[in-house]
Amino acid sequence: MSDQQTAPARDAVDGSRTVVGKAAAILLSYLYGGQQTFTEIVASTGMPVSTVHRLVWELTACRILERTESGRYRIAPPLRRIAAAHGPAAGLESRASLVLHDLAQALDTEVRLGVLRKHQVAYIEAGPGRRPVTTFRDGATASVHTAMGMVLLAFSPRPVVDVALLRVLTSPDGDAIPSRDRLLRTLERTRLQHLAVMWNEVEPDRSSIAVPVFKAGGLIAGALEIRVRNPSAQPTMRPALVVAGRSLTRQLSALAGNAL
């Protein structure tokens, strides 16, 4: 590695003795991308081996760095997304991740943000604790016969609804799903109330609640869903979900406005 490449990291070390400054030195050693071994990180930053070992371990645990199968370290996907998110390009996922995290911590439950893709619901998810929010790259999907799926279909064009319902009714689990007429009535009610509630057939006390998230022009952008383990908690959890959905809608509208 050349002196020009290591200079930013060494300058950060020279300019700060704080933990933040030392962590910044490690990150600045990736200014030109690529992967590094632990020894190369030590050489790039000029910091003691013990300090680098502790900070690299913490950065990896927080998913700021990630360790490859070959034992080298590189910038992890969450940090790459932050680096790529500038202005209006921040998009739904980066904005929703913050909302999901805050809502999951406040309600102590799983929270999802779903979008309609090929007649399925692709989603990202946050749970209680320190686990990071998942990404759409993880490829998690759910049936449209979910609370967030009903919200997405309720505000989708009729041809999209017809194809999605046909697929879900002819799926292997179609016998356990209500009739097409009942599903259409559910979509109508969801559209009027801006809210969908689905009860768990295996665990009747548990339910999921979802609300829509809109982008500029009133078009559906996604659906925000929470898991409710205790029916008595619904009256307190529902308002928080509604507020979060409206907040995300305002953020997306503001992003579109700034792009004009």
Residues 202 and 103 in one domain: yes
Backbone torsions φ then ψ of 123, nearest 5 degrees: -145, 155
Q: Mention every residue, 6+ apart, whose C-beta is less than 8 A from residue 121.
A: 114, 115, 141, 142, 143, 144, 146, 148, 149, 152, 223
pLDDT band at 24 (very low <50, low <70, confident <90, very high): confident
The last residue of one of the domains, among 82, 98, 133, is: 82
CATH of the domain at 58: 1.10.10.10
pLDDT band at 87 (very low <50, low <70, confident <90, very high): very low
The yes-or-no verdict on residue 12 having pLDDT over 50 is no
Better-predicted residue by pLDDT, 174 or 74: 74
Angle at 251 between CA 143 and CA 140, to 5 degrees: 25
Alpha carbon separation from 240 to 90, 135, 190, 245, 246 (Å, rounded): 24, 23, 18, 9, 10
Q: Tell me how crowded residue 202 is: count the other CB atoms within 10 A of its CB.
A: 5
Better-predicted residue by pLDDT, 204 or 211: 211
Residues 112 and 222 in one domain: yes
For residue range 138-194, list pLDDT tens digits in order. 899 999 999 999 999 999 998 899 888 888 888 877 666 778 898 999 999 999 999
Residues 69 and 123 in one domain: no
For 88, how many CA atoms within 13 A lie in the half-sphere containing its CB?
10
Separation CA 64–CA 41 (nearest Å): 15
Burial class of residue 130, CB neighbours in 10 A (0-12, 13-18, 19+):
exposed
Residues 48 and 147 in one domain: no
Q: pLDDT at position 147, please?
A: 94
Residues 116 and 199 in one domain: yes
Q: To the nearest whole number, what is the mean pLDDT of the chain?
A: 83
Residues 100 and 201 in one domain: yes
Query: Which of 54-58, 196-200, 256-260 is predicted most confidently?
Result: 54-58
Query: 96-100, 168-172, 187-191, 212-216: which has the minimum mean pLDDT?
Result: 168-172
Residues 38 and 102 in one domain: no
Residues 62 and 129 in one domain: no
| Structural domain span for residue 19 | 3-82
How confident is the model over 52-67, as a mean pLDDT? 92
Residues 152 and 123 in one domain: yes
Separation CA 207–CA 186 (nearest Å): 15
Query: 70-84, 156-170, 211-225: which has the minimum mean pLDDT?
Result: 70-84
Residues 98 and 185 in one domain: yes
The number of folded domains in the chain is 2
Q: pLDDT at position 201, please?
A: 64
Residues 76 and 123 in one domain: no
CATH of the domain at 176: 3.30.450.40
Q: pLDDT at position 14, please?
A: 46
% of the chain residues with pLDDT over 70: 83
The last residue of one of the domains, among 82, 102, 130, is: 82
- For 243-251, the CB contacts below 8 A with 24+ separation are 244/99, 244/102, 244/103, 244/211, 245/211, 245/212, 245/213, 247/99, 248/95, 248/96, 248/99, 248/213, 248/222, 248/224, 249/212, 249/213, 249/214, 249/215, 249/221, 251/95
The last residue of one of the domains, among 82, 100, 127, is: 82
Backbone torsions φ then ψ of 37, nearest 5 degrees: -80, 170
Residues 69 and 146 in one domain: no
Alpha carbon separation from 64 to 54, 57, 81, 199, 232 (Å, rounded): 14, 10, 11, 37, 38
For residue range 130-139, list pLDDT tens digits in order. 778 898 888 9
Alpha carbon separation from 36 to 39, 70, 233 (Å, rounded): 8, 10, 48
